[in-house]
Amino acid sequence: MKRIMIDETKCDGCRNCELACMQAHRSTPGSIYDLDLTSRENESRNHIVSLQDGSYRPIFCRHCDQPECVMSCMSGALKKDPDTGLVLYDGEKCGSCFMCVMNCPYGVLRPDRTRTRVLKCDFCTSAGTEPSCVGACPRQAIYLEEVIG
């Protein structure tokens, strides 16, 4: 499977990846120049945490080999695709219990603004592209790699 690899030492905290994610998942048409950054309609699936020492840590879904979020999902909304290895989320099925938010050991997940859906990386399958965040990173702190999963 493909995974978005992370080299946190290269991360400058520019947050272009967050913007690209927001743009890829926005509900309205338009370009990045008219993306409403403050609207909670356009929430990012990934995030960058800045540490006190001035360094950064990219927090991105790992599409884990043994995904705890899937193990905790009571509606069948979260599933690991056996072919692609991606951990995908079906909002229509979701029962909004947020057990998955509690069970992702890496604190990747969160409820959306309406508290009815989970914000989860879909590898840009909904946008029909390669992961947008990867293309947006100017430092190659995140990059795609084929891994055995």
**Residues interacting with another protein, by CB under 8 A?**
3-6, 8, 47, 49, 51, 57, 59, 62, 64-65, 68, 71-76, 93, 95-99, 101-111, 114-116, 145, 147-149
Structural element, H or E, at residue 101: helix 99-103
SS3 80: strand
Cα distance between residue 100 and residue 91, in whole Å: 13
SS3 136: helix
Chain residues in the site for ligand FAD (CB under 6 A) = 74, 97, 99
Q: Which range touches ligand SF4 (CB under 6 A), out of 5-13, 26-34, 73-81, 125-133? A: 73-81
Say whether residue 84 binds ligand SF4 (CB under 6 A).
no
Cα distance between residue 149 and residue 137, in whole Å: 24
DSSP 20: H
- Pattern of binders to ligand SF4 over 17-56, x per CB under 6 A? ----------------------------------------
